[in-house]
Amino acid sequence: MRSYSETEAVDFVIVGTGAGGGTLAARLAEAGFSVIAMDAGPYWRPLEDFASDETHQEKLYWTDERIVDGEHPIKLGSNNSGKSVGGSTVHFAMVSLRFRPEHFKARTKLGYGADWPVDWREMWRYYAEVEDALKIAGPVRYPWGPHRGRYPYRAHPLNAAAEYLARGAEALGIDWTETPLATLSAPRGKAHPCVYRGFCVTGCSTNAKQSVLVTWLPRALAAGAEIRDLAMVGQIETKNGRVTGVQYHREGEWRFQPARNVIVAGYAIETPRLLLNSANGEFPNGLANSSGLVGKNLMVQLNQAVWGIVEDEVRSYKGPPSLAISEHWNYEDRGKDYFGGWSYMSQGPLPITWARTLSGGRGLWGQALIDEMARVNHSVGLKMVGEVLPDERNRVTLADECDQYGLRIPRVTFAFRDNEKAMIRHALDFMDQSLAATGATERWQESDDTCHLNGTARMGNDPATSVVNSDCRSWDIPNLWICDGSIFPTVGGVNPSLTIQAMACRTADRILLANHEAS
C-alpha cells in the first residue's frame, strides 16, 4: 500500500471507508487523485480474523458510548453501525435494492417528505455500475418498477424460511422474488461462492460477501490510495472559509493531515458529530451548518416483524438471512392510510439475536424462554424495512460527556410519529396474514425494532433547506463534501447501501467533471 506523508497536502482525505467513503476512495484514486481514506476501526483480514460467533464478532460494531433519548430511544450497535475498514458493509445483510423511481421525488410525485436533487434515470445508471462492481446475485426478472438489466450473477437458491415468504405472498396474490444480494453465487477471482454458513451479519469469514472491504478497497489500493486504519478524525480544520485538513488520533496521539479536499463519510451519526465537533471561530455552529440542519432529520428504518411456528423443520440459521423479498408495498400506494413504502424479507436470526428478540420483544424469560429457544428450528418470520419520514425533531446533537479521545459524544434523539405508527400497523397486519396463509401458528408481533441510519446532512437544491448540493458538496465550504447515508432527503422502503454506493459513484464523476472544467 502506498502511504502519504503528513507534510504535504493530498487531494482528498476521506473520513470513513464504508459504502460512501470506500467507494469514493476507489473511484477518485482510479481517476488519478491522491487519496487517503481514514477509518476509526481496524483493517480486518476475514479469512484469518473472523470467527463464526456472534459475541466475538462484536468487534465489528461501533460500540463507543452514545446517549439515546426521545420517545423511542433507538438501539444502535450491531444493526446499523460499523467500526472497521469497510464500515457497516462488513456486517450488513447484503440486501442490495434500488429505490423506486418516484421515491426520489417523494414531495412532488407523492406529496410527502422531500425531493432528491437528482434524476432517477441517472441514479439507475449508477445502480447498474454498483451491481456489476459487487456482482450482485439476483433474479432474471425483477417484478417491480421499470425494466432493469439482468443481475450479474444468478440468484441464490431459497432456504426454507424464504419458501415461507414465497408461499405467503402467492396466497395473498402479490409478487415476491429472490432478494438481490451482495454475496457470490459463483466463483469470482480467488473468492469461492457463498457456502450458506448463515453468519453474514457478524461478518463473512470466507470473503463471499461483496462488502466494501473486498470490492472497492482493493481497487482503491491498486490505484494508489492509502487506507489509514485506526485513525479517529476528531476535527476538520478550516482557514479563510476552506478546509485545510483533519486532526486525527492514531497510535496514542493527535496528528494533522493536510488535504486540498475533505469528504466526510462517517454515516448519519458520526458525520454530523464530526461537523458539529469541528465548530471554530469561522464556523461557530459547526461546519456546513448555515442552514442549521446538520444533525437534523435523522431517519432510521422500521424493522418490525411477525413470527410464528410451523411443523416443518425450517432451520433458518442456514444461508443468508433474507433470501426472499416482497417490495409490493414500495410500489403500491393504494390501500394505505400513511405516506411512504416498505418491503419485507424472510429472516434467519442467530441464537443471541433470537434470545434477545424473544426476551425483549416478547417478554419471555425463565423456563418459557429456554423452551421457546428450543423450538427455534420450527420458527419462521417476516421482517419489514419501512420508510421513516424526515422530521427535524429526530436528530443528532452533542452531549456534554466526552469519549476516550476527549471528543464530545453524540446524543441521538428519536420518536416515531403518526405516519410511522400507521405504517407499522399495516405492515404487521399484512405480514401476519402472509404467515397465517402458510399455516404458521402461535404468531406474535415484534413491534419496536429499527435499522439503518440516514438523514442528518440532507442534499437539496436550496442552501436554506439543505446541507449539500446535488454533487454532495457543502453549500458553505467549497472543498468540503459529504457522501454517505447522511445526505438522504428521504429513505424509501429499501436498505440504503446500494443507493449510498451509487451516489458515491455519481459524486466521484461530479468531482471529476468540476475538476476538468476548472483546469
Partner 1 sequence: MADRYPDYDVLAKSDTLSWNPVTRKVIAERMATAEPDILSPEQHATLRRLIERIVPQPDNRPPVNTVALLLHRIMANRPDGYRHHRLPPLREAWTIGLAAIDAEAQARHGQPFALLSNREADDLLRAIEASETQAEAWQDFPPALFWSWRLIPDIVSAYYAHPSAWSAMGFGGPASPRGYVRLLANRRDPWEAREEGNHHGA
Q: Which parts of this chain interact with partner 1 (CB under 8 A)? A: 48-56, 61-69, 73-77, 81, 157-160, 163, 194-199, 205-206, 312-315, 317-319, 351-352, 354-356, 359-360, 363, 365-367, 369-371, 373-377, 411-412
- β-strand partners of 309: 379, 441
CA 426 to chain centre: 24
DSSP 252: T
By beta-carbon proximity to partner 1, the closer residue of 316 and 419 is 316
By beta-carbon proximity to partner 1, the closer residue of 90 and 114 is 90
By beta-carbon proximity to partner 1, the closer residue of 376 and 388 is 376
By beta-carbon proximity to partner 1, the closer residue of 195 and 402 is 195
To the nearest whole angstrom, how small is the minimum distance from the Cβ of residue 222 to partner 1? Answer: 26
Longest dimension (CA), the chain: 71
To the nearest whole angstrom, how small is the minimum distance from the Cβ of residue 234 to partner 1? Answer: 18
To the nearest whole angstrom, how small is the minimum distance from the Cβ of residue 451 to partner 1? Answer: 13
- Which bin fits 352, alpha (ψ -120 to 50), beta or left (φ > 0)? alpha
d(CA 405, CA 235): 11
To the nearest whole angstrom, how small is the minimum distance from the Cβ of residue 259 to partner 1? Answer: 28
By beta-carbon proximity to partner 1, the closer residue of 134 and 194 is 194
Cell of 369: 424462554
DSSP 395-455: EEEEEEEE-TTSPEEEEEE----HHHHHHHHHHHHHHHHHHHHTT-EEEEEE---EEEEE-
To the nearest whole angstrom, how small is the minimum distance from the Cβ of residue 145 to partner 1? Answer: 28
To the nearest whole angstrom, how small is the minimum distance from the Cβ of residue 381 to partner 1? Answer: 15
By beta-carbon proximity to partner 1, the closer residue of 75 and 510 is 75
To the nearest whole angstrom, how small is the minimum distance from the Cβ of residue 407 to partner 1? Answer: 14
Cell 469514493 identifies what position?
24
225: which residues sit within 8 A by CB, 6+ positions away?
2, 25, 26, 28, 29, 35, 36, 37
- The number of C-alpha atoms within 13 Å of 157 and in the hemisphere containing its C-beta is 9
d(CA 122, CA 102): 13
d(CA 29, CA 36): 9
By beta-carbon proximity to partner 1, the closer residue of 336 and 378 is 378
Check: CB of residue 14 under 8 Å from CB of residue 38: yes
d(CA 483, CA 294): 14
To the nearest whole angstrom, how small is the minimum distance from the Cβ of residue 367 to partner 1? Answer: 6
d(CA 227, CA 29): 11
Burial of 404 (0-12, 13-18, 19+ CB in 10 A): exposed
By beta-carbon proximity to partner 1, the closer residue of 128 and 437 is 437
By beta-carbon proximity to partner 1, the closer residue of 40 and 130 is 40
To the nearest whole angstrom, how small is the minimum distance from the Cβ of residue 452 to partner 1? Answer: 14
